[in-house]
């Protein structure tokens, strides 16, 4: 056979997708599996949004649109962003894509050359470094700790910046930790970034999902002077339980958006026309559904963090947002269940799936060995069952 392109060898399959796929396969074979591996709300897309999609089909809105989205959706995106962030953009400063992951991939292709460095604080979403490596650039990972709230400090960021730094990627609230930066923390990072000419990619896909009155601010809000270099990535997937509709976007510099438009015109062309119509309904309608989901997520967060910290060998900080717990399982590593030794977080995840039928994602996939990611986008009944199984598995290790 002819050879594959070299670039495909630079990336590994997504750990979250792989583990979720394995859990689904085991369930299809009749195994009793509880999965906490996917970053996907368990709620249905709200009824009025589904109705908006159905109405678009009935109205015949099923043809091609502009490559980066309809003007109507772009206006809705920009209006929602201005309300949330307090900074206005024009129509030529937004591109709608096939989900936020696609938006980030577009930016990797448009912005990074071979040898460029892209700074990524860890723990990080699995796709950030993978996309950087795919285009031949170099991910520069800054490690953080639970004691630091899993947030990069200004000094660590300053120390990582070099003449080769093309971009810095921030995510708040974070996948996988749920950590979110305060206004003062963002201001301190902005002060460092003012002194270095690089792109700033801010992933705010979980920005509406914060708890206990946390004052979620965008870096754009606290540092509007960085607007020309700051690119916001967002979408409807998490906030409105619309993961399968695949609508995300980039807001930022008009020249970057023009490059994305050119790239998307030669790749996917437009996102699904019907999904665009549904996303517009989501953005322009009353936001009561978000409040209901946020309230449910907060109760689940409180229960799962309490339950995790009650298990000997596991420690978990309370996240400010998103719907992930990111506990350390260091206290269980190096132990055995009979002849089966659990040495790493990868071993622990395999052990959980095999012994008690529970699927979680190893922290190694997020640049944080010794941890696991547990999505609490699950019913309270499933969370209780998961905690029971996790305690059972941990209790077998000695």
pLDDT at 183: 98
Under-70 pLDDT residues of the chain: none
Answering whether pTM is above 0.85, one says yes
Which residue segment(s) compose the domain that 56 sits in?
47-284
pLDDT at 164: 98
Identify whether 162 is part of a domain. yes
Q: For position 152, which CATH number holds?
A: 3.40.640.10
pLDDT at 161: 98
Tens of pLDDT, residues 93-129 = 999 999 999 999 999 999 999 999 999 999 999 999 9
Considering the domain architecture, whether residues 192 and 237 belong to the same structural domain is answered as yes
Residue 269's closest CA among 102, 56, 110, 65?
Answer: 65
pLDDT at 20: 76
Identify whether 115 is part of a domain. yes
Beta strands in the chain (DSSP E): 34-35, 94-97, 117-122, 138-143, 165-171, 199-203, 230-235, 248-251, 324-325, 335-337, 340-342, 358-359, 361-362, 372-375
Rounded to 5°, the CA angle 230-89-82 comes to 95
Identify whether 145 is part of a domain. yes
Identify whether 212 is part of a domain. yes
Identify whether 119 is part of a domain. yes
pLDDT at 15: 74
Considering the domain architecture, whether residues 232 and 345 belong to the same structural domain is answered as no
Q: For position 372, which CATH number holds?
A: 3.90.1150.10
The rounded distance, in Å, linking the Cα atoms of 364 and 360 is 12
pLDDT at 201: 98
């Amino acid at each position: 056979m002819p050879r594959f392109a070299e670039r495909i060898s630079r990336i590994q399959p997504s750990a979250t997708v792989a583990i979720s796929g394995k859990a689904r396969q085991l369930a299809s074979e009749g195994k009793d599996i509880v999965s906490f591996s996917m970053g996907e709300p368990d709620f249905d897309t709200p009824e009025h949004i589904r109705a908006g999609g159905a109405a678009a089909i009935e109205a015949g809105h099923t043809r091609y649109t502009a490559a980066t989205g309809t003007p109507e959706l772009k206006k809705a995106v920009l209006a929602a962003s201005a309300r949330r962030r307090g900074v206005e953009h024009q129509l030529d400063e937004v591109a709608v894509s096939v989900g936020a992951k696609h938006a980030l991939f577009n930016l990797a292709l448009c912005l990074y050359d071979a040898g460029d460095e892209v700074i990524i604080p860890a723990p990080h979403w699995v796709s950030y470094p993978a996309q950087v490596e795919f285009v031949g650039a170099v991910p520069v990972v800054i490690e953080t700790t639970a004691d630091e709230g899993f947030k990069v400090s200004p000094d660590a960021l300053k120390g990582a910046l070099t003449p080769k730094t093309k971009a810095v990627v921030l995510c708040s609230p974070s996948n996988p930790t749920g950590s979110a930066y305060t206004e003062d923390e963002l201001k301190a990072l902005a002060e460092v970034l003012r002194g270095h000419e690089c792109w700033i990619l801010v992933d705010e896909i979980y920005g509406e999902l914060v708890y206990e009155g946390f004052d979620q601010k965008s870096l754009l809000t606290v540092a509007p002077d960085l607007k020309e270099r700051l690119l916001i990535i967002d979408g409807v997937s998490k906030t409105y339980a619309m993961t399968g509709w695949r609508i995300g976007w980039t807001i930022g510099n008009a020249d970057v958006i023009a490059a994305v438009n050119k790239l998307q015109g030669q790749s996917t062309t437009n996102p699904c026309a019907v999904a665009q119509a549904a996303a517009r309904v989501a953005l322009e309608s009353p936001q009561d559904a978000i409040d209901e989901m946020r309230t449910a997520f907060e109760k689940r967060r409180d229960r799962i963090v309490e339950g995790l910290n009650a298990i000997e060998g596991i420690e978990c900080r309370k996240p400010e947002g998103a719907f992930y717990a990111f506990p350390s399982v260091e206290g269980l590593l190096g132990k055995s269940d009979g002849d089966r030794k659990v040495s790493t977080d990868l071993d622990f995840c395999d052990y959980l799936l095999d012994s008690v039928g529970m699927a979680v994602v190893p922290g190694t996939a997020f640049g944080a060995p010794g941890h696991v990611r547990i999505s609490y986008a699950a019913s309270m009944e499933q969370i209780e069952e998961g905690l029971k199984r996790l305690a059972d598995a941990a209790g077998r290790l000695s």
